């Protein structure tokens, strides 16, 4: 038997004021759109903002459904919308912010597994990494240079 060691690297910003201006603006849009989340069941609201190489910003918020799991996470709402409206644009950066109605969220909240796989598909398709910034309601912001940091064993079309 052999063991392999996989390491990932993240940059950590202690607060939004430390972010580069363009990323701070993107994160502020993620914070705003999370207020429009439809989350009557989980009471957990997430917003995502994606900057495209054409300068457009695409937003998404989580949308729940009583017939779980028919809802969709904010990250997938944004990434699928970007893919549908701007199919030839590259996704450069994604900002994600999460909050809960019933308790403060002060830790960075990364994308769930389904969202990671969706982001991986587009990163693979465009052959270009997507920088991902994620935070809770307040506190530190984590930056990943690529989805591979969050999902080192990505499944892509090469396995099919």
60 domain residue, yes or no: yes
Tokens at residue 148, please? 């591979």
Alpha-carbon gap, residue 106 to 109, rounded angstroms: 9
Considering only CA atoms, which of 126, 34, 62 is closest in space to residue 146?
Answer: 126
Q: What is the pLDDT of residues 84-127, one digit of tens each?
A: 999 999 999 999 999 999 999 999 999 999 999 999 999 999 99
User: Please, which residues have CB within 8 angstroms of residue 100's CB and are 6 or more apart in sequence?
Assistant: 43, 44, 45, 137
Options 75, 102, 127, 137, the catalytic residue:
75
Q: Is 131 a catalytic residue?
A: no
The total number of structural domains in the chain stands at 1
83 domain residue, yes or no: yes
Tell me the average pLDDT across 61-86. 96
DSSP state of 72: B
6 domain residue, yes or no: no
Contact 75, 67 (CB under 8 A): no
145 domain residue, yes or no: yes
**What pLDDT band is residue 155 in, cutting at 50, 70 and 90?**
confident
Alpha-carbon gap, residue 95 to 34, rounded angstroms: 11
5 domain residue, yes or no: no
Residue 120: give its domain's CATH number: 3.40.140.10
Give the CA diameter of the chain: 50
- For tokens 């002060």, what's the residue? 106
- Domain of residue 139 covers 22-152
Going 141 to 144 to 149 to 150, the CA torsion angle's sign is positive
111 domain residue, yes or no: yes
**What pLDDT band is residue 31 in, cutting at 50, 70 and 90?**
very high
| pTM of the model as a whole | 0.94
Alpha-carbon gap, residue 44 to 156, rounded angstroms: 30
């Amino acid at each position: 038997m052999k063991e392999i060691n996989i390491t990932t690297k993240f940059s950590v910003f202690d607060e939004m004021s430390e972010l580069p201006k363009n990323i701070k603006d993107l994160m502020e849009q993620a914070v705003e759109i999370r207020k429009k989340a439809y989350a009557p069941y989980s009471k957990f609201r997430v917003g995502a903002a994606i900057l495209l190489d054409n300068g457009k910003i695409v937003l998404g918020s989580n949308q729940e459904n009583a017939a779980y799991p028919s809802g969709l996470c904010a990250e997938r709402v944004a990434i699928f919308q970007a893919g549908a409206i701007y199919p030839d644009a590259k996704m450069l950066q994604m900002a994600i912010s999460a909050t809960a109605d019933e308790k403060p969220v002060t830790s960075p909240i990364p994308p769930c597994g389904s969202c990671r796989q969706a982001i991986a598909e587009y990163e693979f398709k465009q052959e270009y990494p997507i920088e991902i910034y994620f935070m809770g309601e307040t506190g530190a912001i984590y930056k990943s240079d690529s989805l591979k940091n969050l999902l080192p064993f990505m499944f892509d079309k090469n396995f099919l």
